[in-house]
Structure 1
Amino acid sequence: MAINRDFLGREYPAPEPYEVTRVKIREFVEAIQDPNPIYTDTAVARAAGYTDVVAPPTFPIIMGMEGAGQAIVDPELRLDFSMVVHREQRFEYSRPLEAGDLVHCVTRISDIKALGGNELMTLDSEMSTVEGEHIVTARNTIVVRGGAEDAEH
């Protein structure tokens, strides 16, 4: 069954702000095995011009997962997750995430379209401080293999 086009524009706000901490950054850095000291050493980060350690560029994946998860499991969306593959992930930064940031995240279904017999769905996760300063937009596009065939009938 094709993805429900009525979901285009629907938003999924995180229930509470996400606190970016040194511990969470360190755990992420260990998982991706990136030895850059600006991620783990406050003195090095401050010498580089930051107020505290910075999160790696792909860290926002963590914050966008909750909203994306809410969308994907909604039965009315009619997304067959068994047919999903990841297509693309992009990040558009206004500034780096730093330890101490308290971040509000809203994930929006920004695009649904058919392409080559498949369906593509794009989710944009807007991340801002609780004061409203934009930090980053994480854009995630998934492919539902064969889904467009159902959309055409």
Structure 2
Amino acid sequence: MSVNTELVGRAFAPTEPYLVGREKVREFSRAVFADDPQHVDPTAARAMGYPDVVAPPTFAMVIQDLTLQQLLAAPDSGIALERTVHAEQRFRYTRPIVAGDELVAQLQITNVRPFGKGAMVTSVSEITDAAGAHVVTATSILLIGGEVA
């Protein structure tokens, strides 16, 4: 099965709320070598005006991944994980993610561009806080290889 071009325009259900934990932010910060004090030290973050530690910008991928799992699980997507490469990632922030945030994400497929036996799938995840305010828009492009004959 090839990638379903009728995915364009499809919006998936919002994810369950994700509570951003201080230790998750610290772990992620260490993993990506984000060693600025606001990422690991609540006192330093508060001194900068934040209520708790601040997640590095790429932390939004943790929440976006919940939406991409919905896409990969869609039986009519035509996307096989074993033929998928994460080709591009962009983030547009309204404000940083901080420990204590409760975030919800919703995925929409904005483009499916066939090429050869494969396709490039562009998806946009709108991530909002518990009050419904925009936090970050995460855009991913997945490169899906075609089936080998």
User: Is TM-score (shorter-chain normalized) higher than 0.5?
Assistant: yes
Question: Which residue of structure 2 aligns with residue 38 of structure 1?
Answer: 38
Structure 2 residue ranges without an equivalent (≥5): none
Answer whether contact 1:106 1:127 (CA < 8 A) is retained. Answer: yes
Instruction: Give the structure 1 partner of residue 89 of structure 2.
Output: 89
1:120 aligns with 2:120: yes
TM-score, normalization: structure 2? 0.88
| Residue-by-residue CA offset, 1:86-115 (whole Å, 9 max, x unaligned) | 210110000101111111111121211124
Q: TM-score, normalised by structure 1?
A: 0.86
Q: Which amino acid aligns with 2:56?
A: P
Conserved in 1, the CA contact under 8 Å of 2:15 and 2:66?
A: no
Kept after mapping to 2: 8 A contact 1:14/1:66: no
Q: Residue in 1 aligned with 2:23?
A: 23
* Percent identity between the two aligned chains: 37
The aligned counterpart of 2:144 is 144
Shift of 1:75: 2.3
Query: What residue identity is the alignment partner of 1:108?
Result: Q
Match for residue 134 of structure 2? 134
Aligned to 2:107: 107
Aligned partner of residue 91 in structure 1, secondary structure: strand
Q: 1 CA distance for matches of 2:31 and 2:42?
A: 19
How many residue pairs match? The answer is 147
Q: Cα 1:75–1:133, aligned 2, differ >3 Å: closer, same or farther?
A: same
